[in-house]
Structure 1
Amino acid sequence: MHQYQIGLTASYIALTLGGFYFIYAIKYYISSLIALALFSMDTSRLPPEHRIHRILAQRDGEPVPIGDEPWVSIHLPFFNELNVARRILEACMDINYTNFEVLVADDSRDTTVEILRERGWQHGSPIIKFVHRKDRSGYKGGALKEAMKFMHPLAEYIVVFDADFVPPANILRQFIHQFRLHEKDVKPVAAVQGYQLHYLNLYGNKSSEL
């Protein structure tokens, strides 16, 4: 009987804790639903002074005036990215921004380097630089550290994209808008690359498989 009461008490405690965890977790789903509803709604009928217009303006970003675009250095760490290398380079070339460069930190041991040697990458706009290392000291962090040695001297911002990421054309304008919007805040501003569901390099290396 005593063991039965202990088991029953433990079950009630577990259910109570599980209920608290469920309430804590469900708020993220509710927030996601609210965000989806907010950004997919038809705002054309709302008055111009409505708060939703200010929220959407912050989301979309305001155009950076021509001649006032700070230099941005995009760093791409590569390791056996044969299936996605060309795609992200083409996406970077389509970015709607003037003062930026693309710096590829390549540690590949496959034929990715052949894609990097193709004609056209280094003779157009933006500036594209390739840094190939023969050893992988420091791995991804070491490659990015090495890339900083070749960065444009006027670069004010560094943006790091994974090789399987596809940056939208307005991504730098959104970044600069948000950084300038909060540049006077006490806390520093940072942006983290979100996950995109791509499988082109699923078996390209161990980290992709995981």
Structure 2
Amino acid sequence: MGPGKVATRFYFANLDAFEFQFITSSDAVKVSVWGKDSAGRLVAAHRVLPAELDPISSQGITGATGATGVTGATGFTGTVPTLAFTNAIGPIPVFPPLNTEVTVASVTQSVVINQQLKIDYAFAVEFVTSANWAYVFEVRLYRDATLINTRTVNRNLSAAGTQRFPLGNTYVDIVPATSASSTYSVRVIVTAVTNITSASTGTSIDLNIITFTP
């Protein structure tokens, strides 16, 4: 407001005090404050001296919050992991013959270079034995014709009977090349035996593949 202007505000309340904020251009500005009661009589006339003014700051008071801007464009949809699996049914014979790979589970899916495949399998191998038995076998994980992971198991014992060996394994394969059809297979090979009649998987052979795309 300019010099000599009067600003009028009406307050209909029983208040003991008011607090006003004056934003002035310099200390030389003089401000007078007065009020009138409900009958129009002048009350509480007062000229505010510069020494009575508490400076707010050189920056001034914070203004009202502006209107909310428009919503931005929707970002790209991120990749979602995919699951491929098989729950094969056994038993599947793995011995005899000796030194022969037997596929016990497989999953075929499309892959893209540099995808990360978390591969988990779980099953058991059961050996029918006579006294003083021993065996060595391997569980091999293949990507198509490429061997990518191996677990070797060897056991021996004097007592005869059926010996069951549970297996669980996890492995992460980084895809080397894009393919519309790539097969991951779990194979068992018995490489050495003593007093072993036969060997086969249990009734459940589980193979899961979770694919993550970077």
TM-score (norm: length of structure 1): 0.21
Higher-Rg member (1/2): 2
More helix by share: 1
More strand by share: 2
